Structure 1
């Protein structure tokens, strides 16, 4: 039986040693990681194949779990981008001298020990590690059983890179995939500073309800795009197709197209490219009436709105005004990413101002909600809450701050 408290104690002690690690060691470790990962591609893919063999290819998580050489090289490009970013540590956020001569500085520091719980996403192992290392944080990872062998193979390479550069590998821990490890992590009050769940709404809800450690939610993405009465048809076709089909299994993919009723005549043109990509459409009554009969076009039920499909499925909702569109989004949104396609400056301004989400778009695909696309190198997740961080969480969001005060014998009366 695993002694989790002993593991966490060693992790906590090792995390203090990270404060002595130099920026050169961090940069060299990321270089080494990229080199060793390329060398280990056959081993990583073999491990990934073992995981994939346990999962139904029709499962929406299959695409997230699947690795190939191209995807690994793409992940390593993100590692390289993180390496190129400036360190987020020891930045002076505020500085002043008080009347009594005390010199105050507000300086960025690591959060401490990060706990990340995630499902069938082996890329997260790479992303979270490089962000944690670059931001000076220790890390305890709890991956799902679906990605057990993939995560172990990746962590083996990570530990090798750490050893080669004199950084304690004990500060970066991968827990066993069983449920007892999750329970232990959620209770690790004296050892872990923050827990970040990354996965389904069910996982996020479970962590929030059961964790004694503070939680930063990286919420599910129930994503809408509103095609306004003034929307440009060609822009809309491209944006909707990209948002839905680029990678339907990720959290920024489109779940519900909202269309102004005056544009129902253009709905067939908007939907045809989706049908060609084998997207199942759940259309409300008004929209279904104007669409042709097709096995992939079905009448929507109440359960199809407010659903994160994570697959080639999408709902359509017809509205009479932008007010109804805003009401629909407010009711069903998970506050992740929302978009409007419109040529009306007034409606665009209202949408961007009134929609409560981590990322709001005008005339662009929600597929851009991604730390790498935002120029952050990579991300630890998309935060949908409002405390501490919101949207793609990267280096800056993995820091806190402390006040540093220097005096010359001052005492308070």
Structure 2
């Protein structure tokens, strides 16, 4: 190609991939192997000492996974990426590099229920303490900052309600506090929002959702923006201090603007072990090739369905930022002008019982705990994904008892509307 920067759709198909040099295979091969042969003893020593790049063991890196990592980093505008076994694994690996026992991180209240549970309960055993803030009140993030704060965590489009987060405003808070901003970009995908363009330092995804897109493979990924100075103030010793397991290397000094991605690989993935299967990497890569086509259809369908529900007499309210009447519509126009995503919620006038009944009566929508599939999906969060929260916390996170969450697929919108119409009528 010429020197021009490839467009998004071109990157979605080509970034990170070349024909296999040995066989000429055009599709990225599945390197289904545990380990890789060294050239000689010096080569092995240089790989283990971080003096050369290359493959050692699939728990640490794999050629199939490497293509996936380079592709997502390119789509997000980052310097490097690391693929792991799930979105939850990505969050553990990221925070392990940033937090010591007793440290705090600030998180938005509007998050995926599994993340709320992970942050509230599982991370306590590591001595990591979450402090909650409200994305509708940016000042609440400022008030939450203490000397123990090491990072801020938000979602670009919040799950389940589909609200749009003001990334730039929260990035300003993070800069003032001298801490990195982590953005979970799962529901938007880089097709709709690139958080790094708005001040994010680290982006995470559940690859299981829109990037993979077909509901067949679980994975997660961490993208390093290369924008944060990890040596500032000695807050992040994993990156700034000599690493005894690597002969005193300081990762920040040695690897510069992709030091965080390296730390996640050689300190997090190496020791915690949540490796992504090369087969899953292959499946997710295949899904990413059609990401631009799918995301636009997802969004167009979602807007049509939301408009239908907003006018239905059985529906009390619809929370979808793509509607002109929605409180997050202006933020959607700013951050996601191509579409406000495909996951949103609506409330039924009949409350909890009506929500459960609707889910049972839908025929085309699949009732399951996932989003971002080509198929349209439905769930009642209060009785499933957010059931571990108390009633007040459910409401704060957008999963009240009367709320139903939809993940709109790429079917014909008329069929989706007809299915909802019959279920609401019943």
TM range (shorter): under 0.3
Give the alignment's TM-score, normalised by structure 1. 0.25
Give the alignment's TM-score, normalised by structure 2. 0.24
Q: Determine which structure has the larger strand proportion and give its number.
A: 1
Q: Which has the larger radius of gyration?
A: 1
